[in-house]
Chains A and B, each alone.
Chain A
Amino acid sequence: MSDLAGRLRPAATSALVPLGAVVVAILVGAGVMAAAGVDPLRGYDAMVRGALSVSNIDFAVASFTAILAMSLAFALPARMGEYNLGGDGQLALGGIAAAVIALHLPAPAALLLPVCLLAGALGGAALASVAAPLSTRAAVPVIISTLLLSAPAVALTSYLVRFPLAESGSSVPQTPRLPDAAHLPSFPGTSYTNAGLVVVLLVLLLAVHVDARTPVGYEIRVAGANRGFAAYGGLSVPRLTLGTLAAGGAAAGLAGAIIVMSQPFRFIDDALTAPGYTFAGIAAALLAGGRPALLPVTAALFTILTVGSAGMERDVDVPRQLGQVLQAVVILVLALRVLASRWTARRAADAAGRKG
């Protein structure tokens, strides 16, 4: 009886902290809206409608696809304790790789679609992989190297779409429209939501399976918990680092490929990085904690924040950056989860003290 209660309590707290973080963020958002002279209820109503109303849901689901993939990009290396903050560069490089293949490989859709997706994944993985030897051989932390690598990668894609890959005669820095064979098939009645969602969900299922039910997933967890223990057990920390970073980069690159292979079917400078998918993904991954199976839920939440804040800007004139602010609040409150666990530990100790 008490054993069951003892087992339930940590479970309850571990669910309580993320929920609390979201509640705090919503309250902060309400405060900010009130300060800006907007009725918070109207603001949030506009936000939810901006994401979920019939006319917006199509685009929101497409954004969800990208944010879910970006949450994997952060969550997979984070399983080992490595923070991949270079999602923007991986996303952009994946997008440009897919665009280059689509524009230069004349092939039927059945061949071109998987090849383009693969190229995108490889592009992202290649960039993220660089951080692995930098960490394991040169001891440069992944969090710094991924960031420092990201800016040049984004700049490179920006250069490419302005010069070698630019659409001639266009004033917008963008590639030509990809051939029809490289358009991801949409669902009936949608124009943004397409097969990309299915691909990302399959990748998520694979990640959840590997994490929970394979020796490799176990080894990644061991390495994340204690490098020394992993080395002692004969696990190759450099190889695991490389693997998780490549997997994370591949997820980001896949997101980039999916974006360029969807409406409007081009790589437009800034269009991949401007919406802030990377940080929405990071926030979603942090909110899900060590449970990859929760990623769809948290990614959906941050999709509403990200997409909905644009609707909020349109309808009630609250700047869309409020979405970013709320994400940041969620992350900060999550960082303080240690307080909650310390609090429960103290209560447990007090309870034990009373009994003894």
Chain B
Amino acid sequence: MDVVNLAFVAAVLGSSAPVLYAALGGALCGRAGLFNMALEGQLLWGAFSAVTVSWWTGSAWAGVVAAVVTTTVFSGVLALGAVTWRADPIIVAVGMNLLALGLTGFLLRELLDATGTFAPAGLPGLPDLDLLDGVPVLGALLGGQTLLVPLALLLAVAASLWVNRTSVGLRLRGVGEHPEAATSLGVVVPRYQRATVLLAGALCGLGGAQLSLGDVTAFTENMTSGRGWVAVAAVMLAANRPLLVLGACLLFGAAEAWGFRLQGLGMPQQLTDAAPYLVTLVVLVASRLRVRRRLDEADPVAAVSAAHPEAVVHPEETR
């Protein structure tokens, strides 16, 4: 394998990681039967809190811990609103995304005294991995990355094992698929939903930290710019399966990395920026068309309502 291709794969891994964290969280929520559309806001909050605490303490890892903790707290809004109080999860998510946008902008001014972008000299970022220097392929793949990049990949595998190979994972799969059946066997469905929502918050904290302390060392207003929504699309695309989520996110990362390459070849940035969203949407539509065709044959009557978000979580079980 030549170095150029490895560098490309490394770039893909790097730009996928934040989306992957968010999408893994979304997939676990989907497994519990809750469509988490507040990923964008949580990622943004994670990115902001990581930078702030990193600046205050002088330790990037303290920033990561703060991002995990505070984003988990923030996700409590969804856990409390949509699960405990059974409010419409979509509206709660819209409110949370806007809240994160406003609050990070507000606090950027109030706490860090910056407008637009905060990237002072001396803001500690996450160190690059040097453990694998000299190791053939792996060193080139992960050498320029932070620890959070391989961690994301490991977590995807771990999430898959957790869902498929543990008792709790089995119960989780049942909860989202048929809550009444799970309840009838003594599983407390809201408890699983709350737990996965909070877990998704922690994962979004990691993703946000990677975005603001790993990819770059800076916080910019609205710096997630839709990555959380790409994660939502990845969750749909993968039908909540963690390993497929990994695949979908790598695809997104590849589109972004290709965008950078095209920019290098003189393509305007505005157009290459659009590529990941369009690629995500096209792949999503293609995969849904297949599901839909099956559904149409099965039951044209039920297919009418299949486009609703509730039906999206488990496309196969709309009947």
Contacts and interface: CB of A to CB of B under 8 A. Distances in A.
A and B touch in the complex (CB under 8 A): yes
Interface of A: 32, 36, 81, 83, 85, 134-145, 147-149, 151-152, 155-156, 158-159, 162-163, 227-228, 230-231, 237, 279, 282-283, 286, 319, 321-329, 331-332, 334-339
A135 B288 CA distance: 10
Given A148-B233, A335-B87, A319 B277 contact: no
B137 interface: no
A227 B305 contact: yes
Nearest to B278: A152
Given A139-B292, A336-B81, A338-B87, A325 B106 contact: yes
A62 B37 CA distance: 32
Interface residues of B, number: 58
A163 B267 CA distance: 12
A324 B98 contact: yes
B301 A228 contact: yes
A138 B77 contact: no
Of B98, B288, B303, chain A has the most CB atoms within 10 Å of the CB of B98
Of B95, B103, B104, B288, chain A has the most CB atoms within 10 Å of the CB of B95
B281 A148 contact: yes
Given A148-B229, A231-B304, A335 B91 contact: yes
B287 to A, nearest CB: 9
Contacts of B289: 137-138
Contact of A151 (B96, B109, B225): B225
Given A138-B289, A148-B284, 19 more contacts: A36-B110, A136-B307, A141-B307, A141-B308, A144-B229, A148-B226, A152-B277, A282-B94, A286-B91, A286-B94, A321-B105, A324-B105, A325-B99, A325-B103, A328-B95, A332-B95, A334-B95, A335-B92, A339-B87
Nearest to B315: A139
B281 A339 contact: no
A62 B39 CA distance: 33
B62 interface: no
A328 B98 contact: yes
A336 B270 contact: no
Given A139-B291, A319-B109, A322-B106, A332 B312 contact: no
Interface in B285-319: 285, 288-289, 291-292, 295, 301, 303-309, 311-312, 315
Contact of B37 (A143, A322, A332): A143
Contacts of A140: 236, 281, 284-285, 288, 307
User: Per DSSP, are chain B's interface residues mostly helix, strand or loop, or mixed?
Assistant: helix
A350 B98 CA distance: 38
B301 to A, nearest CB: 7
B102 A328 contact: yes
A228 B303 CA distance: 9
Nearest to A232: B301
B74 to A, nearest CB: 12
B270 A156 contact: yes
Nearest to A338: B87
Of A85, A231, A329, A331, chain B has the most CB atoms within 10 Å of the CB of A331
B274 interface: yes
14 contacts: A134-B281, A137-B292, A144-B284, A145-B281, A148-B278, A156-B274, A162-B270, A228-B305, A324-B98, A324-B105, A328-B96, A331-B91, A331-B98, A337-B87
B267 to A, nearest CB: 10
Nearest to B267: A159
Contacts of B284: 140, 144, 148
B273 interface: yes
B226 A147 contact: yes
B90 interface: yes
A139 B306 contact: yes
Given A155-B274, A279-B98, A81 B308 contact: yes
Contact of B91 (A141, A149, A237, A334): A334
B232 A155 contact: no
A143 B305 CA distance: 15
A159 B229 contact: no
